[in-house]
Structure formats: structure tokens, C-alpha cells
Structure 1
Amino acid sequence: MDDKPDNLLAASTRIYLQEACLRHQFIRSKDTSNIVERPERLRAINIGIAAAVSRLESARKNSSGHVKNESYHDELAESLGKIDISGPSAKSATPQNVPVELIKSSASVDLLHNPAVKFIHGDIEGDVYLENLIKWAAESKDKIATTGTEIPEGFPQGDLYCNGTQSLTWQINEESYRQRLEDSFRDPTNSAQTKPGLQMFYGSLHDILSYPCEEGKLDLVQAASVSIHGPHGQYVENIHLQPYNSEEEFWSELYEKKYKSVFKKAEEFVRETAQQDNHSAGDDVIVFISCGFDASEHEYPSMSRHGRKVPTSFYHRFARDAVTFAEAFAKGRLVSVLEGGYSDRALISGVMAHICGLTGGESSKAIGEDVMQEWWNVENLTKLEKATKKRRGGRASLQAAPTAQEPWLERTLEIFSSIDSTPPPAHAVPVAPALLMSLRDRTKKPADNPVATDKNKPGKKAAAPKAAKEVTVLKQLSDISSGSESDAGVVGGQQSVPNLPAPTGKKLPRVVLKLGPRP
């Protein structure tokens, strides 16, 4: 391990964890077995993060590294704000000898005054929808229980409040293209001197048979199939996922010949727009990618009905290629955002592979592609799931874990217990079990009259003894239920209990109990 290059130690990858999100819980029902969009899925993300860091540490265990806890002046770091990775709970989460920083954040964004929100939505003054977002969030607890909402007509209730990325890209490029044409019309000789507007390239790998195109609606299918590069100032590339029969076929036929072309189109965009704006390619470029783990080979079958999947190693390779592209054309500026995924195994394995890919190609060369792929194979994923399985009464902890663990598993649990602040599930107050039978006395009868009346007949509500006599009644009932059919009269298709002999001393009210059919 000592012969690995030292540049692996550069803390080039920062993972931002928003602790407030971990407190979100699905509360509509205790049974979440059929609920795929659970906020608690973030726990699986943290498991994947912990496992990736643990594996990278073990591969570099004989080297020395550092972790920084400093503030950055760039807009991204400032928006996350309030860094807190110190304290006893975060001590074991500090990555050792790996190019990764874990940053816990409690930042918030003012939606009404944020420049990015205003840029996308324009002038929001007087926009009832946007201005009411904060109010709706505060009132959501009450709104969930009612039928009416204040969401404007035409907006879905609780889903898809924001336009998709492709829609935003088209809108931004359209405006920048319009400004360029207007400037050129005013002074054709000065168009190159005008400060260019923002331009975006949007590339996507997706399943054209799944949501929102599953019903085959023309406009949605067309939008998910757009491929345009330059005309009208638009740069969009959509690539449809295809089925495969083996990993060899996936890498040689699909990834190399089809999926990887999204980076080629992005490179053409950077070079062409740089030439238009008369500056060096990459001076003003930043790369954003999103992790759609719902395409994982480990996703629920119900959420991957059309067989458009990718192997787990895809998330490692794609992230590695994205880093290579960012280093070449964006001075290494790359932001990866969690997007989708439903099963815990899909999330755990995808996050592991993705983080290892984000550490860069040097890590892959130093550690070895084959070694990395073993980290997220089914056998090791099973061990990881077993070690981090939620115990009754709360999340996994070092004390609850078995003492004999592989070193990487032990380290994974240490890191996970430090970064995971998921609240334990609320425990219901135990309720004392009800008595087998509880009889209530509704009528007053003479104490010396043991003869049955109309009210004691089957089909009527029977009188009950006092609580002190209940044991006697139940004991006799058990004797009756084990007897033959002749021991009980049958009235109206139901068995009725014969007269119970009154004990000596105090007389009991006559009790008639209805029994169900004999099993």
C-alpha cells in the first residue's frame, strides 16, 4: 500500500450532509413495507458514505492524510454555511488518509430573496405561488389532514413544484439567445464585446418507458427524446437506456458506444460556446451531475418494470469520467446532487461506487478497478446490510454490533454512527391486553331469582356478574367449550351456554354466553 501516489491524499471531494433532512419521517402509517418514497431512505445513503470512506481508508491505511475544517468564500460553500464536523460525535467520522471531507450542514435558503430563485422564476414580487411556499410549509401539518389547499389551479398537490432541468435549460438558453440576437441587430460589430448570457448544456440517460413517459404521451416522449446542439441556442442530449444481457455487453456496446457520448456532446458545447464568446474553454464552466440510483441493478422490481438498468459499477465509471471532464474543462469544479433511488441496497451500493468514482481516476488506478468492484458485490453488501440493520429500539450502534467484525465493517459502523442522526422510531405506549371476556350488568334482578328471563335468552344482552365473580364464569366457560355438543343448546345457528350452577353461599345472576360455531 505504501507505493500508492501521494496525490490521493488531496482532500478534493467534500460530502455535504444536511442534518435537518435526516429528521424527516413517514408518519401516515406505521406499515412502510409498500411505501417506496420514504424520507428514511437517507439512512441508506449514510451507510453507503460510511462504507465508501471505510474502504478507501483501508486501501490507504499506511499513509498519512489530513481533513480540513475551514470556511470557503465561494458561493456554494457559503450557501451551505454553518459547518459542524467537530465534537465527540463527529470525531470518528473524520476520514483518515483519504481525499474526502464530510461536512455536516444546517444551512437554510431564503426562497423569496435567493438570487438563484429569482433568476429562474424572474420577478417574484406579487407571485402568489412562490410567496406562499413558506406559509404552505408551515401549515403543511394541518393541510395534510384537510381536503382543501391553497395551491393554485393547475399545480399538482405535493408533487413536482419545480420545472425539470431540461425545461429550465431551454428557458435560460432561449433568453440568452434572444439577447445575443438583439445585441447583434443593434450593433453587428459589437456583438462579440457584449457580456454573454448564461448558457447550459443538458444531457440525460433515462428510461423512456418509465415515469413520466410510461403512458406514452406525445409531448412527454418527445421532450425526453430531444437531441439538439446549437440551433436556436439550445444544447440538449437525451439518451435512452437499453437492456443488456451481460456486463461485458453493457460496457462494450452500451457505455462506450452510446452512454459515454454525453461527455462528447458536452465537450462540443464548451468549445463552441467558448469560441462564440471569445474566451478560453473552461474559464467559466461548472459541471452538475445527479445520481439516479433508481436505475440500479439492485432496485425494486416494481420500480424497474421495463428492465432498463445499469450495473453498480456504472455509478463509479460515470463519476470518474465526469471528474475527468471537469478537470479538463471546468478547472475541477463539479457538484453531484442526490436524485433518485428507492431500495436500500440500490442506494447503499450506488453511493459507495459513486463516491469512489468522485475521488478521481488516480484512486482507481492506485487501488485497482477489480478491487473496487469487489467492495460493492452482493456478498459484501449482504454483510454491510446485516451489520447496519436497525435493532429494536433505535439505530445501529457500536455496542449493539457483534464484536467479531471485519476491520472495514467495524470502521463503517464507527463512521455511520457519527454521521447518522436519524431519530429512532417513536414507540407506541404499550396497552394492557383486554380481558378474554368482560361482562357488564345492565339489568337489576332479584338476588334470589336464578330463573332465566326473556332478557337472558340468546339474542338478548345478557346480565353480567360482578368483577369479583368473573374468574368463576370463565372457568366454567372453559369446561363448557371442551364438552360435547349435547352440553350446549343451539339456538338460531349459535351455541348457547346452559344454566350455570350457582355457587353455594352468594347467588350469582344467571349468565348466558354466545359461542361461535365449533371449529
Structure 2
Amino acid sequence: MPDPLDNFYRQFQLFVQNNPNVISAARAAAQIPESAKAVVVLSPYSLEHSFSRDWVSKSYLKTIVERPERLLASSLGISAAITMYPALYTLKSSDRKKSSILSPHVLKVHGKDWPPELLRLCKGADAKLAAQEVEVPDSWNAGDIYLSSKTVEALQGSIGALETAIDSIFEGPSVEHVSNRAFVAVRPPGHHCHVATPSGFCLLNNAHVSIEYAKDRFGVTHAAILDFDLHHGDGTQDICWKRAGFRPDEEDEDSPGYDSFGKKFADLPRVGYFSMHDINSFPTESGYATKENVKNASTCIMDAHDVNIWNVHLSPWETEEEFARLYHTKYRSLFAKADEFFKQGKIEMAAQNKPFKGLVVISAGFDASEFEQTSMQRHGMNVPTSFYTTFTKDALRLAQMHCHGKVLSIMEGGYSDKAITSGVFAHLIGLQNQNWIKEWGSEHVVKEIVRGCKSNWKPYKTKRARDVIRIWAEEVIKLGRAMIPGFEMFFQDIPLNVKATATNIAPRFTRSRAQTTKGPSHEPPLATLDPSKEAAPRHRRIEGTGVTQEPVPFAQEELPSDDNEDEDYVYDEELNKTFNRTVEDITIDDISRHLETLDIIEQQPPPAPATQSKYKVPSKTTTQHLRSSVRPQQLANSNTHANLNGNAEDSDISMVSHISTRNHTTRSGARW
């Protein structure tokens, strides 16, 4: 069976050959171990879940924002991060791993009734669609949720991708390939799905299913879910109440095992939920929300009745400086509360003479991005792109303290190409503890990248010779569109630009030994992006002359401009110069200095529950051997950069804790 990443391998080789900055930096970084790299798991089966009511109007179709194209936008964000730090990421495709919707870890989260019911609805959907009937029950919001028989494959593939990520960060295909951090590009999202009720595009709760799998397979006892999606993860929070022993709303009141107040013993794993979201958006949007929904999205309760939930509401901001103050005084309190949750968990496990094993899970929704479409972000609340790097770095530090650095990030929302692409880009930079550069998230740069989301995308025929941004963006697009062969089914005209030279390029990627095995349990392909390996130089033959040209670095190609193409384009020479400098300035000193702060902090259980949480990044230098020459001042700067100064007492949260039930409203904004 062909490797699904073959096209990407070839395109990546071309990128390396065309980019001298990548080659020089990567040669110095060639000793970075696999364990220091972040795993990115692609989920090709996620493309199978698509809107199939082909009789609807075009205007109605435009309201369906959760669609397969979201996966392409995320791939462009992934490829953008790879072009900046190609030696720091490992790609895996879960194309050969599908897991049953009736798997034990799914049933433990969603009960014995909902997964079989979901299967039945999916299998019966095609007949209804053929008869031009809405395929979902009348009680569902048909504007948010759709089904088809192919949805089963998408869900099976999603579960397989989640399992692949968990396996990668706890076990790996080999001892040398265990990584602490993984990002899963998966859809449909999951954080609105309750125990047995789908909502807001979500059919299964990906975060909780992942945690249950991690508990069953690797003994995880405590997990903190950090959710930065624009919308409150009402389903995720609801399942946390179930995990605490409270009877779900979907269960009958006479269900066995509960006391007279609907509570039973809370078993492991214990899961805390920590969310920042817009209180005026779904499921708490004015005009649609119930009192119970608003209470749920404002619940703040710690270490009471086996429940740990903390919600923070987004506030408006005008400048990034103002947002930074909000982050440090308000939003960062989520990490203090998660820190408190883990500390208390260690105390309880020690008291029972049982081992503690933690995991940090990020519900990575990008619909709070400054680039999200206004129809989704109707109330004007958003975050700057740099937020996704900052928040992710803080999540890494939390994981260092309590979870041996283990972080699983799962894509949730994000519905415009710009929001997903820029958000994933910034998030992955943070997942490797590197610095986000402001120019990378500029409107100009993001606009160039998301051109690759168009079904009819073609490279520019001509470019300005010094337009580094446009030339770089095309490299990003080619890499992103080569990641999943399934894109070709939806976009038949994807030009990979690799066929002509593919036979001349030897693969230079480290493969896992598991790739030689056969059968359904085949370990997903693993591509270590190590551009330090020499590749055959690319030559160009000039048509009709018999002359062969030497390869030209992509940032130095002389390409004439064409005044008839992209008439509204304004070339920004200063931005191009600055952008080029940001790429050239990435050195092995920078990379290793940030990686070295990811040493694990071993903490002993505190003698008593903490009333205040302060934590810092360590100053050890386990990756010091990677640096060619690091000056003392650089080390001092590294340690200064490592400190986290977010104090719990700085929070201006004034929400009241509530124990309440959930209700559902529409996410699309339309009344049903």
C-alpha cells in the first residue's frame, strides 16, 4: 500500500532544496531527538463527513460552515509551522487506523445507548437524503448537524487519529519515537457533544474519548482540559459532571447506583475543565440561551463533590497591550486553577497509596481568532493570533509540572480559512515553545497562505523578484495540499508540482520499523522532517535550448511581475524585508534555548492543598549539546523568558459557582 505522505515527502524535499535558510539551520539541529519533536496527526477519514443535502439552495449551503475544507485550512497552518521549524515536527497519517464507535472508551464516555443510535442514524441517512428528506431527527438543529453513511468512517477515523496521538506521546512506535506533545487535526469537533446528545456540529466528545483511552491503555488518573474555543464546551463540562458521579440528564431517574440526590462514587480518571469563552455566543447567545445555559457557562467550582470546573469570559480589547493585561490578570487564572486541580489529585492519590499519572488536553478551537468571520463571531469578542502561541506555551509549563510534559491538543472550532490557518500555525509554534513573530500573523501574510484553500488554486504565473512572502506562501500551500491524498477527491485540480522531479529525489525521512507490518493494526506512517539530510539538487531544463540551469533558492528567484494578475495587490517592500529577516534570524541557538526549557519538573505532592499557584519554567539545559555557541547572556535571557508571573490572586473573575443542568440552543444563529 502506498504511503499517504509520499506526495508530501517529495514536496518537502523540493522546499528544502529551494530554501538555503532551512538547510543551514537544520544541519545544526540534526541532533534534535525524536522525543523533543511534536507529533502532528493527520486524519484523512475526517474528509468523509460532508453535507449531502444536494437539493438545498446555494444561500442555505453557505450557512454550513463545518465542512471538509476546514481540514485543508488546518494543513496549511501545519505546513506554515513546518517551513519555519522543519526539524521540530513529526507527521503521522492515521489513514490505516479506524476504530469502532462502539469501542470501550467511547461507551464509557457516551453510555451504551448513544453510540449505537448514532450508527443507526448514519446508516439510515442515505435513504432519507435520496428522498430529499432531512436525515437528522426533528429535535436536532438541522442547520448545525448533518449525517450520511460516510459519517461513520469519519468518526471511526477520528477515534483512530486520537488513539494514534495518545499512543505517540505515551508509547510511540519505538522508545526513540516517544514524544511528549501531539496535535490532532480532526473533524467534526467534539466539545459540544454531551453524554448522549449531539450539539453544535459535534457528534462524539473527542477530548473525553481520548482521556478514557489514555486511562485504559496507559493508566492516566487525572486530566485537565484547557478549552480556548470561542464557545463554551458545554458538552465537555457536562461529561465532567458525569465523571464526578452525577447522573446525566439523559439517564432515567431510577437508574441503579445513584443515591437519592443523583450522585454515586466518582471513579478514575478525574477530569477538570478550564475554559475561556464568549458568554454571549452559543450556547449562551442572547435571544437563544436559557438561564441554565448561562449558569453552566459561568460555573466556577474547585475540589467540591469531585468536581473541578472553572470558566472565564472573554472581555473586549483595543490593543495587544490591553489584551496582554487581560491575559495575565484574567485568562491565565485557568492555569492556576488547573495547577490546583493537579496538586490536589496528587495528594489524594498519595493518601490512597496509588500512582498519579496526569495529562493536559487542549480543546483547540480557533473561532475566537481575530481572523474569524463575523457571522460566527457576531458579538465582537476575539483574541490576537499571538494568543495561541502564548496559551500553548503556558499549557506546556503546566504539563511539565504535573504530567511529565504530556500534552494532547485536539482541533475543535474555527470556520474561516484565515482563522484556522493562522491559529494552527501559531498554536504549533507554541507547542514547540518557540516564539511567535508578529509579521507571520499579519493580514498580508495570512491572505497569501489561504489562497491555497481555493479549489481552483494555481501558483502565480509571475511574481515580483523580491516578494519573499508570496514565494514562501506558495511553498506553504504546496506542502499543505500534499499532506492528504484525499484532498484530490474534493479538489481535483490540486497541482502538486512534484511529478516531474519525483523520480530524481530519494526519500530522506526516518521511518518507523512498524511501517513494514501489514494489516489493519498497521502503525501510521511517520515522517521525521529532517532537512539536514542532503537531497539531490533540482535542475531546470530551459525549453528548446538543451541547457540545464542550476537550482535557484526560492527567495532569490527572479520572476517578472504581471500587472494583469491580482489587480488589488499592493507590494509592501518593508514587510517583505522584515518577514525575510524573521526567517533568517531563526538559529539553532534560538531553537535549542526554547526547547531546553521543556525539561520535566518533578514535583512532590504538597503537604496541603494550595491556596495560591505560582510556577516557573526550569533553567536546566538538557539540550545544551545542540547549541553550537551560546553566550552567557543568552542563557540569562532564556531563564528570564522562562518565568511565569501569572498569580491566582491577580484574577478579576467575579463569577458565582452553580450546579445546574444543561439545555441546547442553535449555534448557527438561525431560529429552528
| TM-score range for the pair, normalised by the shorter chain length | 0.5 to 0.7
Q: Which has the higher contact order (CA 8 A, sep 6+)?
A: 2
Contact 2:245 2:267 in 1 (8 A): no
1:116 maps to a residue whose letter is H
Contact 1:51 1:412 in 2 (8 A): yes
1:275 maps to a residue whose letter is I
Distance (whole Å) between structure 1 residues aligned to residue 138 and residue 478 of structure 2: 49
| 1:383 corresponding residue in structure 2 | 448
| 1:84 corresponding residue in structure 2 | none
Q: 1:35 to 1:111 in 2, by over 3 A?
A: closer
Report the CA distance between 1:320 and its aligned residue: 1.2
Contact 2:75 2:481 in 1 (8 A): no
| 2:269 corresponding residue in structure 1 | 198
Contact 1:203 1:262 in 2 (8 A): yes
| 1:300 corresponding residue in structure 2 | 373
| 1:416 corresponding residue in structure 2 | 480
**1:401-437 Cα deviation digits (max 9, x unpaired):** 979674633532342232043135589xxxxxxxxxx
Describe the SS at the equivalent of 2:268: coil
Within 5 Å, give how 1:360-371 maps onto structure 2. Answer: 361=433, 363-364=434-435, 369=436
| 1:132 corresponding residue in structure 2 | 117
Contact 1:270 1:282 in 2 (8 A): no
1:131 maps to a residue whose letter is P
Distance (whole Å) between structure 2 residues aligned to residue 281 and residue 358 of structure 1: 30
Which range is displaced more, 347-356 or 19-28? 19-28
| 1:318 corresponding residue in structure 2 | 391
1:354 maps to a residue whose letter is H
Distance (whole Å) between structure 2 residues aligned to residue 212 and residue 98 of structure 1: 37
| 2:527 corresponding residue in structure 1 | none
For the pair 1:264 / 2:336, whether they are aligned, the reply is yes
Contact 2:399 2:405 in 1 (8 A): yes
| 1:52 corresponding residue in structure 2 | 81
**1:166-213 Cα deviation digits (max 9, x unpaired):** 00011101269xxxx99xxxxxxxxxxx99632111011111101111
Distance (whole Å) between structure 2 residues aligned to residue 103 and residue 403 of structure 1: 36
Aligned equivalent of 2:106, options 106, 117, 124: 117
Within 5 Å, give how 1:395-410 maps onto structure 2. Answer: 396=458, 406=468, 408-410=472-474
**1:444-488 Cα deviation digits (max 9, x unpaired):** xxxxxxxxxxxxxxxxxxxxxxxxxxxxxxxxxxxxxxxxxxxxx
Q: 1:262 to 1:107 in 2, by over 3 A?
A: same
1:22 maps to a residue whose letter is L
Aligned equivalent of 2:302, options 217, 229, 235: 229
- Which blocks of at least 5 consecutive residues in structure 1 are unaligned? 58-96, 183-193, 428-519
Distance (whole Å) between structure 1 residues aligned to residue 239 and residue 275 of structure 2: 14
Q: 1:329 to 1:105 in 2, by over 3 A?
A: farther
Q: 1:196 to 1:344 in 2, by over 3 A?
A: closer
Contact 2:363 2:411 in 1 (8 A): yes
Q: Number of aligned pairs? A: 357
Q: 1:205 to 1:391 in 2, by over 3 A?
A: closer
Within 5 Å, give how 1:354-365 maps onto structure 2. Answer: 354-359=427-432, 361=433, 363-364=434-435
| 1:22 corresponding residue in structure 2 | 47
**1:261-289 Cα deviation digits (max 9, x unpaired):** 10100010111121122179994111111
Distance (whole Å) between structure 2 residues aligned to residue 403 and residue 46 of structure 1: 26
Contact 1:315 1:354 in 2 (8 A): yes
Describe the SS at the equivalent of 1:14: strand
Report the CA distance between 1:8 and its aligned residue: 8.3
Distance (whole Å) between structure 2 residues aligned to residue 258 and residue 282 of structure 1: 33
Contact 1:15 1:102 in 2 (8 A): yes
- Which blocks of at least 5 consecutive residues in structure 2 are unaligned? 1-24, 146-197, 206-234, 248-257, 260-264, 493-672
**1:126-167 Cα deviation digits (max 9, x unpaired):** x3x532322322232222355878977856664525570000
Which range is displaced more, 162-171 or 215-224? 162-171
Report the CA distance between 1:259 and its aligned residue: 0.5
Distance (whole Å) between structure 2 residues aligned to residue 401 and residue 22 of structure 1: 33
Describe the SS at the equivalent of 1:205: strand
Contact 1:282 1:329 in 2 (8 A): no
Contact 1:11 1:101 in 2 (8 A): no
Distance (whole Å) between structure 2 residues aligned to residue 5 and residue 346 of structure 1: 32
Contact 1:50 1:416 in 2 (8 A): yes
